[in-house]
Amino acid sequence: MKNCIITTLISILISNNALAINNNPILACDNLASDPFDSERKAKGIKSDDININRALEACRQELSLYPYISRLQYQYGRVLNKNKQFKQAAQWYYKAAKQGYTPAQFHLSLMTDVDIPFDYSNSDEQTRNAAKNGYAPAQYLLGMMYQFGMTPAFNAPKDYNKAASWYYKAAMQGHAMAQYNLGYLFDNGQGVPQDNKKAVSWYKYAANNGNADAMHRIGKIYSKANKYSEAANWFLSGANEGHRDSQFEIGAMYLEGRGVPGSFDKAHEWLLKAAKQNQPDAQSALGEMYNNGWGVRKDPKVAAIWWTASVKQGEPWSQVHLGNAYYHGIGVPKDHKKAELLFQLASKSKNTSVASHAQKNLRVMRKRQYDNNLSSGEILGALAILGLVGLALSGDGGTDSNNSSAGSTYKPPDPYDGWLVPGVCQGMDCIYELD
């Protein structure tokens, strides 16, 4: 009898809280911490990255003291705590909401790996499926990922691009940017859906409008492949402004070539440097080209070698050829034929046939000129250690702060105009791509 009375009183309390909150539907906690994909949210919603932690913590804490049983507020408070890396406390509030059947709380609680999760919410695969079926976009996106990549040991189904596309579509229609991007990728590559550039671009654009820089980059690549360079440049520039390092490289390369945009060594250097500082290997290689040839900067083979070395350490195969030539000729670095041969050997294994051809030709020339030292494995590893390239040699494949002043020289497209991105095409008397 006593337990029955207590249960009834708790129910009345919850009902009173619900009634009170409905009379005041939008609270500060809603405006500061509601989930954009929560179907029960009262406000527009805010991305986790945009939460003002201090304001949201204070507002949600105060409002939970007034309405302690409202699952929406419990979940939102947990969301802020999670953003603040208070994972244990976040899990406790997620659990309070999850016990009341709050779908987003159940889903996010099941994904927490840094805290002990109650057994009934520990099966992330099951919770993901349930939340996806209940229409929660982040869960639909994750389920799409599971089908696309066959993720997680608990997920027993094989890859299924059709199902991936189906779940991505459900999340994409709710405005989930990564689902929109991944759906565009499936159309781009004909995985689970017919290959369709128009649909790919359409979904990429939805994602891009939601701030997805990867999507901006992909659109740029599609337009570039179709020789629509002006459109490509606009999208690469958008991605570059979002800090996307590959887009920064692409727009820098376009300024260097004068392709899709007016040629500008200064702007090329600006964007290539930004990408190179983010360890974009192609940009590092291109900066090496600029300094080696004096394109808009003071010609400096030493700086060129620095950038090529940085690129080589990431396995960029053209830089292996460039740096090998530098060591062979002693341009910007001390002459060292052992290091040159080592770099040519790495480049000769590249899957890029043009790179491999150049490297193999250089090796043949070295041997013809009797520079073949028949390097022992110990000597190779010793030279690799000096260059910091031991891991690259063991993998067997060569591929995937500098002087920053610009000379401000009048722009003239590298000669030949369309060939600078295809190293191996010599640029006048200073060509060091090949040995003869």
Contacts of 134 (CB under 8 A, 6+ apart): 103
Domain boundaries 16-122, corresponding CATH code: 1.25.40
User: Helix (H) and strand (E) counts for the chain?
Assistant: 22, 0
- The predicted-structure confidence for 281-298, as pLDDT tens digits, reads as follows 999 999 999 999 999 999
Nearest 10 degrees: CA dihedral of 148, 149, 152, 156?
Answer: 60
| Ranges in the chain annotated CATH 1.25.40 | 16-122
331 sits in the region (left: phi over 0; alpha: psi -120 to 50; else beta) called beta
pTM to 2 decimal places: 0.77
- Which token pair is 197? 């550039």
- The predicted-structure confidence for 32-47, as pLDDT tens digits, reads as follows 999 999 999 999 999 9
Cα separation, 167 vs 146, in Å, equals 10
The label of the residue with tokens 């376009």 reads 254
Per-residue pLDDT of the chain (436 residues; tens, 9 = 90+): 555 544 444 454 444 454 444 445 689 999 999 999 999 999 999 999 999 999 999 999 999 999 999 999 999 999 999 999 999 999 999 999 999 999 999 999 988 876 676 656 667 788 889 999 999 999 999 999 999 988 755 556 678 999 999 999 999 999 999 999 999 999 999 999 999 999 999 999 999 999 999 999 999 999 999 999 999 999 999 999 999 999 999 999 999 999 999 999 999 999 999 999 999 999 999 999 999 999 999 999 999 999 999 999 999 999 999 999 999 999 999 999 999 999 999 999 999 999 999 899 989 888 877 654 555 555 555 555 545 443 343 333 333 333 333 344 555 655 433 333 333 333 332 333 333 3
